[in-house]
Structure 1
Amino acid sequence: MLEKLRLNFSSLFGLLLLVLSVWAISNELREYNYHDVLRSLATIPKSRLSLSIWLSGLGYLVMIWYDILGFKYIGRSLAFNKVAFTGFVSSVLGNTIGFALLTGSAIRYRYYSSWGVPALAIAQIIAFANFTFWLGVFAVSGVIFLFNPLQIPTQTHLPFTSTRSIGVIFLLVVVSYLLGSIFIKQPLVIRGQEFRFPSFKISFAQVVVSSLDWMIAAAVLYFLLPANPSVSFLDVLRIYSLAMFAGVVSNVPAGLGVFEIVVLHFLKTKFSPVAILGATLAYRAIYDLLALLVAASLLGFYEIRYGARNIMNK
């Protein structure tokens, strides 16, 4: 009953944030109409659009290493194509549908169990992959927030006024994890669950892979924005980090609206609101929708082929 109430409250809070974000975006764009946004989309150079598509593909290829490292952590092996397929589909669905812990977990359990991976091992891979994602958030955002902090807009309703304190906390988590992988050799028991640190080689690879994933995603947005010498990639990276963090903790699917309002808030002095919204729409189309189309196609192809094979075997 308590868990159900928590889930309902979480969903209601996410919906509230979505409504507030949409209102804030509408307020920023009240002097414009959708034709201006469409014109802004049309002005994005094809070369930058193409580069963003390739970067998006590279980003999702990097994400499959979450599962590859997970299998190394638990000491099991599975064919690369199976791990790549499952890692890609679960990452895409988790990013676009939202509630990644649920959607990505369901995909991983569906396929890994069908290939003979025990339930306990799957649970370990799921936990490992999700923690790897957060290591990237903590590592990249921690450095950016600490040394080049931002003032957090009140519209996000986060319990901080500056990102510097967030940066300190994030980096402490990453450093503690790396030190634990070096010095703590015995398993830890947390709430009755046993946790074993991976080797330093694996934990360091987690930080590198997830940080690379985070920076590639930010680069997709960077190349969709109009060229501006006063706006560097690092500027966009720190804004992207805060926007994505706000979107993830908001519980809004894919951070829709929350992500856009944070980007709009910090970049509106450098670009017109219409250009920013056009860039974020293009980002959604490339990084989310295009990837979702590819993942859904792969999923459908596999299920049709697998189902047909089962019918033939019967």
Structure 2
Amino acid sequence: MGKHSNQLKQFVGRHFLSALSLILCSIAIVMVWQELRRMSWGLVWENIGHLSPVQLAIAGLFTLCSYGAIANYDLLAFRYLKKQLQHHKVAFAGLITYTISPNVGFAFLSGSMLRYRLYRQWQVSQLDIAQVIAFTNLSLWVGLVTVGGFIFTVFNLPLPTAIELPLFAQSLRGLGLFCLALSGLYGLGNLLLQKPLRWRNHQFTFPSLQISLQQILIFSLDWGFAALALYSLFDVSISYPVFFGIYVLAMVAGLISTIPGGLGVFETVILFFLQTTQPEEVILATLIVFRGLYYLLPFAIAVAALLLFEYRQTKKS
């Protein structure tokens, strides 16, 4: 009885993590399938003719650049922790996580589970995995607060009346200054707090100023190239810096606001700013193409790569 029990535990231990990633993939595929069913494909086919193959190719190139930046979040985390792991493995884990987890929902939880599955396969300790998860999520917010603060302070962007941002409904500049203040406090922590902050059994060491600047740079390249991918699909007279500000506002509004009705918050903000430049149907069709190019195509590639990874791990065991 004891022998069979031990064999069962060993079998479960070997295959639990693989089963976990397969479950996450299945959930993500179902979520994406539901999203695809809700899309107005007739609208796309009717208005897709305005996009040239050159525009699609350029948008695809900028999409690759954005995902190239995304791969560096985990690489920077290992540099911050002063831990060693082959770069291609770290980049693979980061890309798989950032591509699949947003489609599962509860991105922090699902992303953490994917990182745990992949890094445990490569003998990274649980403590180091937890620190990588914390640092990569911190990097996103450090970049967002800094870049968003700059954008909202410099550009006087109006907010669509259908969208409400808590506390800052009257002035986005107020939100921008608040974000810059937070970014400044973080920078002071980098300079002044060299010793780890301790709380119970946990400790946090502020990244160096160099690491913090790299956090902001990676985020800027990530969102900057994503905005360029969308910008290249539109034929508008708006300059790219202003369009990037619109893109950041749309993304931030999507994170912290809700809107009733059919359109998502991101689409509502983009439509609000571009409605005088192109017909509404063309703008919405372009946004659907962008979603397919930037989100759905990389998602399909990531799922295939993860399934191939799991297949190889099963063959090894």
Q: TM-score range by the shorter chain?
A: 0.7 to 0.9
- Please list, as runs of the form range in 1=range in 2, the aligned pairs for 1:177-188 lying within 5 A after superposition: 177-188=186-197
Offset of residue 284 of structure 1: 0.4
The gaps in structure 1 that reach 5 residues or longer are 1-25, 27-32
Q: Is the 8 Å Cα contact of residues 135 and 211 (structure 1) preserved in structure 2?
A: no
Q: Which amino acid aligns with 2:121?
A: S
Offset of residue 251 of structure 1: 8.4
Q: Which amino acid aligns with 1:245?
A: V
Aligned positions, number: 274
* Rounded Cα–Cα distance in structure 2 between residues aligned with 1:278 and 1:297: 27
Offset of residue 241 of structure 1: 0.6
Q: Is the 8 Å Cα contact of residues 136 and 214 (structure 1) preserved in structure 2?
A: no
* Rounded Cα–Cα distance in structure 2 between residues aligned with 1:246 and 1:228: 22
Q: 1:199 aligns with which of 205, 208, 215?
A: 208
The secondary structure found in structure 1 opposite 2:305 is helix
The secondary structure found in structure 2 opposite 1:154 is coil
1:174 aligns with 2:183: yes
Q: Deviations over 1:142-185 (max 9, x none)?
A: 11110112222232232222321111122222222222112211
The gaps in structure 2 that reach 5 residues or longer are 1-38
* Rounded Cα–Cα distance in structure 1 between residues aligned with 2:131 and 2:264: 32
Q: Is the 8 Å Cα contact of residues 253 and 265 (structure 2) preserved in structure 1?
A: yes
Q: Deviations over 1:201-229 (max 9, x none)?
A: 1111111111111111111111111x222
Partner of residue 62, structure 1: 69
Q: 1:126 aligns with which of 112, 133, 137?
A: 133
Partner of residue 155, structure 1: 162
TM-score by length of 2: 0.81
Q: Deviations over 1:78-122 (max 9, x none)?
A: 111110110000011133344321121111011111211111111
Q: Is the 8 Å Cα contact of residues 178 and 204 (structure 1) preserved in structure 2?
A: no
Q: Which amino acid aligns with 1:133?
A: L
Q: 2:149 aligns with which of 139, 142, 147?
A: 142
Q: Which protein is bigger by CA-based radius of gyration? A: 2
Q: Which amino acid aligns with 1:196?
A: T
Q: Residue 205 and residue 257 in structure 1: after superposition, are their counterparts in 2 closer, same or farther (change >3 A)? A: same
* Rounded Cα–Cα distance in structure 1 between residues aligned with 2:188 and 2:221: 21
More relative contact order, 1 or 2 (CA 8 Å, 6+ apart): 1
1:249 aligns with 2:246: no
Q: Deviations over 1:115-144 (max 9, x none)?
A: 111111111111110111122212222111
* Rounded Cα–Cα distance in structure 2 between residues aligned with 1:156 and 1:192: 42
The secondary structure found in structure 2 opposite 1:156 is coil
* Rounded Cα–Cα distance in structure 2 between residues aligned with 1:92 and 1:210: 15
Partner of residue 279, structure 1: 286
* Rounded Cα–Cα distance in structure 1 between residues aligned with 2:216 and 2:92: 22
Q: Is the 8 Å Cα contact of residues 99 and 251 (structure 1) preserved in structure 2?
A: no
Q: Which amino acid aligns with 2:196?
A: P
Offset of residue 192 of structure 1: 6.7
Q: Residue 189 and residue 200 in structure 1: after superposition, are their counterparts in 2 closer, same or farther (change >3 A)? A: same
Coordinate RMSD, CA, aligned: 2.1
* Rounded Cα–Cα distance in structure 2 between residues aligned with 1:259 and 1:96: 16
Q: Residue 222 and residue 190 in structure 1: after superposition, are their counterparts in 2 closer, same or farther (change >3 A)? A: farther
TM-score by length of 1: 0.81
The secondary structure found in structure 2 opposite 1:152 is coil
Offset of residue 190 of structure 1: 5.7
1:84 aligns with 2:94: no
The secondary structure found in structure 2 opposite 1:194 is strand
Q: Is the 8 Å Cα contact of residues 67 and 129 (structure 1) preserved in structure 2?
A: yes
Partner of residue 15, structure 1: none
The share of aligned pairs that are identical, in percent, is: 37
Q: Is the 8 Å Cα contact of residues 95 and 288 (structure 1) preserved in structure 2?
A: no
* Rounded Cα–Cα distance in structure 1 between residues aligned with 2:104 and 2:188: 35
Q: Residue 191 and residue 175 in structure 1: after superposition, are their counterparts in 2 closer, same or farther (change >3 A)? A: farther
Q: Deviations over 1:52-102 (max 9, x none)?
A: 111111111111111011011111111111101100000111333443211
